[in-house]
Amino acid sequence: MARILVVEDDAALSRGLSSLIAASGHAVDVAANGQDALDMAHDEPYALIILDIGLPDVTGFDVLARLRQNGEKVPVLMLTARDTVTDKVRGLDLGADDYLLKPFDPMELEARMRALLRRSTGEASPVIQVGALSFDATTGLVTVNDREINLRRRERAVLERLIARPGKVVPKERLAAEVFNYDDDVAPNAIELYVARLRRKLEPDGPQIRTLRGLGYMLDPG
């Protein structure tokens, strides 16, 4: 539960965003222009600001610059309709913490918000959920549909790397480099063994681990 400010001049998008955020259990305030946003950010201690670049009075870049000038350290996630690299670089240079291109996947927005909130509130969300699988980073407990899965050290290490990037391909070499230490004397293809074991243990109702030959492995959130 955190307090979040949405700065967006399009009323329909603003309503959609705030409802989505409210649905994930946060308190939402809405500003429709840059001046309101600055005033509200000054008065209230927000845990996160979602800031559109195209605002009617000043640009989102200006709002961000003035926030940072005032010493506000609140995380800012910028939304933009322009997918040029320069816009992205400019936003990040001005002190934006993340950047999303419209139209965005609401799930992606929620994931980014979670990451930013984790940083700002300092408390890592210890349980990661991917489909029926949940992974508690603190206790190391792994469950699929509340059924506990027993993993060995290397299998757990593999899962930890894959679950950090669900839906993304993790190259095999990188996975191996992260799972094995330098002094581990292992065959180059040993990682395949651990992935195969982990895959068997997550079956049948857990998320699938896909092998993409020549590319790497991916935890498929389904």
Partner 1 sequence: MAEAVNPHAAPEGRSPSLTGRLIGGLIVPMVLLALALGIAGAISVRHAVTAVSDTILLASSHAIAETLAVDKGEVTLDLPPSAFGMLENNAQDNVYYTIHHKGQVITGYADLPLIGAGLADGEHTFIDAVYRGQPIRLVAEARRLPRLNGLIVVEVAETTGGRTLISRHILWILGSLEGALILLVLVLIPLAIRWGLHPLVRLRATMDSRNAQDFTPIPLAQAPGELRGLVSSFNALLHRLDLAVEGVRRFSADASHQMRTPLSVLRSHIALLKKASPIDKGMRSSLKDIDEAVDRLERLVTQLLALGRADGATPLPAAQRPCNLLQLVQDAASDLAMMAARRRVNLALETPTQPVWAITDENLAHELISNLIDNAIRYNRPRGHVSLSVFATNGRAWVSIEDSGPGIPPADRERVFERFIRLSPDADHSGSGLGLAIARALGDTLSAHITLATPDSGEGLRVVVDFPTADGEQA
What residues make contact with partner 1 under the rule CB under 8 A?
Answer: 10, 12-13, 16-17, 19-20, 23, 54, 79, 81-83, 85, 101-107, 167-169, 171, 210, 212-216, 218, 220
Our CB check for partner 1 shows the closer of 69 and 213 to be: 213
Rounded-to-integer distance, Cα 170 and Cα 156, Å: 15
Q: How far is the CB of 119 from partner 1 (least distance, A)?
A: 23
Q: How far is the CB of 91 from partner 1 (least distance, A)?
A: 16
Q: How far is the CB of 45 from partner 1 (least distance, A)?
A: 26
- Asked if residues 14 and 30 have their Cβ atoms less than 8 Å apart, the reply is yes
Q: How far is the CB of 109 from partner 1 (least distance, A)?
A: 8
CA angle centred on 28, ends 22 and 32, rounded to 5°:
125
Q: How many residues comprise the chain? A: 222
Residues 6+ apart with CB under 8 A from 5: 28, 29, 30, 31, 37, 40, 41, 44, 46, 48, 49, 50
Q: How far is the CB of 73 from partner 1 (least distance, A)?
A: 27
Cα of 78 vs its chain's centroid, Å: 14
The total of other beta-carbon atoms located within 10 Å of residue 172's CB is 20
